[in-house]
Chain A
Amino acid sequence: MGNATGTTSLRAFLEREAFFGYVLILPAMVLLTGLVAYPFLTAINLSLSDTFIGSKGNFIGLGNFVNLMKSDIFRQTFQNSILFTVSAVAVKTVLGISLALLLNKKVRFKKFFRGAVLLPWVIPTVLSTLAWWWMFDSLYSVVNWTLVHLGICKEGPSWLSNPYLAMFVVVLVNIWRGLPFYAICILAGLVSIPEDLYEAAKTDGAGAWARFRHITLPMIRPVLAVVILFSTIFTLSDFNIVFVLTRGGPMNMTHLFGTLTYSVGITGGKIGEGAAISLFLFPFLLTVVYMQLRMTKREEF
């Protein structure tokens, strides 16, 4: 008898909502504590030390951060990261809205268009970036071949060894890779706008631009905000495109936080300093998370 009630109460305990809730969330939390939160604390710890690969470092306080602020390469990287992110996000927003508007039209082959446009986002980025590298090759560039044969210039520039052109190319490839995310998300926002809003505006005599400005734009604003926030953090933390195309060169003019972290921390073995560089991403991440959470809160009320 006692045994039977024992099992029922055990079963009842296992069936309690809270217990089951904790059991289910446990694996995810163990993983995220051990392999996200703990490494993050390790990063802070390392950034305050002069750890070199294979040796135990000493605590040097904010030494790494002070040195970084004085370092030309780091200041250049900071500047590159802002330029890269702002220009890529701006162009992706404008082109993303245009492309979404086109994809929203009632046309044939809609599915094909959508599929083709999304492709750059799905294919492994480093592999497609290799194709871009080949397209901007110093000797056999197809872009230069076209420019020369169209008579635009006598001899094409060497794209990736000119600092400014190299920055242009990495931004271009980032736009190419990120545009589908914008277009498809904004399209989802456009689809949900009720058709009769446009009908009503048309009967009131609103032109195409007025309809876009006063109906479309306000209606897609929430989606647009989320897309821009997400994309800002993903663009700022880009690594693959720059690593394949320029490795941060020429003259460090395309280094981003990610690639500089790699070249200092992994290639150069200065793990402490590398960790300090990577932590510069954190305030940006925090801002995005804060804004995102504030927006979802506002929607709920």
Chain B
Amino acid sequence: MVHIQSIRKRVSIVFSSYLPMVPFLMFALFPFYYMVITALKKDQELYNLKAAPFWISEGLTGSHYSYLITETPYLTWFTNTVIVAVLTTLISVIIGIMAAHSLARLKFRGVDTFAVAIFITYLVPPTLLFLPLSQVVNKLGLSDSIWSLVVTYPTFLVPFSTWLLLGYFKTIPKEIEECAMIDGCSRFQTLIRIVLPAAVPGIICALLFAFTISWNEFLYSLSFISPTENKTLTVGVVAELIRGDVYYWGSLMAGAVLGSLPIVIIYVFFMDYFVSGLTAGAIK
């Protein structure tokens, strides 16, 4: 009897907990699955209206990837994106650490106003500012170069990392900082030797998020840069891989897969940081 009851309980858990997850998982994952198999399918199967589109039945091909690497500036775009993402991440997180420490710990006139200013810019969408920013970038003589992005990406990365780090810095007990200062550390030394080591998880989180947001950025890059060889990956794929004829889907999807891969790899290793960073943005 006990046995039957436990089976019944298990069945009910499957129905109430696992089964309802299935549509959500399919919704979330199918586009990626479809992206990956499209990039590996031969053209003859890809454009055969009779073939079932859900799997690969006529063998794999690497031709879409090799076309991408050899016939398009894909690797140039990839390199540009790496340079921009690494530089803007480092710049923004350093500025963010400084600002967050200042807002979390130090008392000075106007500190609340600064906090509100950073919060407002955190919510300012890039869509609101890209047009005047393109004028500013032009005046600075940076149009059409990746430096226009190195200068402008921090405008959304700095408020984000400051806001994220502010939460972490507030959780560090004030006493350990005070002890260090009584022991003769200057304020700067205290920040470097005491606060930073204690905030490592927060800093990793800020680095990961800044890198991801920077890697994924599209609008500024689309608006500020027109020469093909200076484009970043997202813009290059969308603006240049779509050819005149119809049969470009294989290489387009290959470009999407390769462009997502660095982020997926980082994500797999640091998933917990992404979860905590995402919630820290909305919940303090």
Contact = CB atoms under 8 A, between A and B. Distances in A.
A244 B107 CA distance: 47
Nearest to B262: A124
B69 interface: no
A127 B123 CA distance: 24
Q: Is the interface of A mostly helix, strand, loop or mixed?
A: helix
A77 to B, nearest CB: 13
B282 A28 contact: no
A35 B53 contact: no
Given A105-B17, A135-B34, A130 B252 contact: yes
Interface in B120-152: 120-121, 123-136, 151-152
A46 B283 contact: no
A73 B263 CA distance: 38
A127 B129 contact: no
B87 interface: no
A32 B123 contact: no
Interface in A1-34: 11, 14-15, 17-18, 20-22, 24-25, 27-29, 31-32
A71 to B, nearest CB: 18
Contacts of A243: 218, 222, 238
A145 B53 contact: yes
Contact of B114 (A25, A230, A279): A25
Contact of A266 (B32, B216, B223): B223
B237 interface: yes
Nearest to B114: A25
Contact of B267 (A119, A271, A293): A119
A236 B218 CA distance: 17
Interface residues of A, number: 96
Interface in B63-115: 95-96, 98-99, 101-103, 106-109, 111, 114
A32 B158 contact: yes
A126 B234 CA distance: 7
Contact of A127 (B126, B132, B260, B274): B260
A28 B25 contact: no
Q: Is the interface of B mostly helix, strand, loop or mixed?
A: helix
User: How extensive is the interface on chain B, given as a class?
Assistant: 35 or more
Given A230-B282, A266-B134, A28 B234 contact: no
B275 interface: yes
A207 to B, nearest CB: 15
Interface in A91-143: 95, 98-99, 102, 105, 107, 111, 113-128, 130-132, 134-135, 137, 139-140, 142
Given A32-B118, A105-B17, 13 more contacts: A17-B107, A20-B187, A24-B98, A24-B106, A32-B155, A39-B129, A43-B128, A102-B21, A117-B24, A124-B233, A140-B49, A179-B28, A261-B130
22 contacts: A21-B102, A21-B106, A21-B108, A28-B95, A35-B152, A40-B128, A114-B275, A115-B271, A122-B264, A126-B216, A130-B253, A131-B38, A135-B34, A145-B53, A179-B28, A180-B278, A185-B279, A185-B282, A262-B222, A274-B131, A282-B128, A292-B119
Those 6 A-B pairs whose CB atoms lie nearest each other, nearest first: A237-B125, A21-B106, A258-B127, A18-B108, A24-B102, A21-B108
Interface of A: 11, 14-15, 17-18, 20-22, 24-25, 27-29, 31-32, 35-36, 38-40, 42-43, 46, 95, 98-99, 102, 105, 107, 111, 113-128, 130-132, 134-135, 137, 139-140, 142, 145, 176, 179-181, 184-185, 188-189, 223, 226-227, 230, 233-234, 236-240, 243-244, 257-258, 261-262, 265-266, 271, 274-275, 278-279, 281-282, 285, 288-289, 292-293, 296
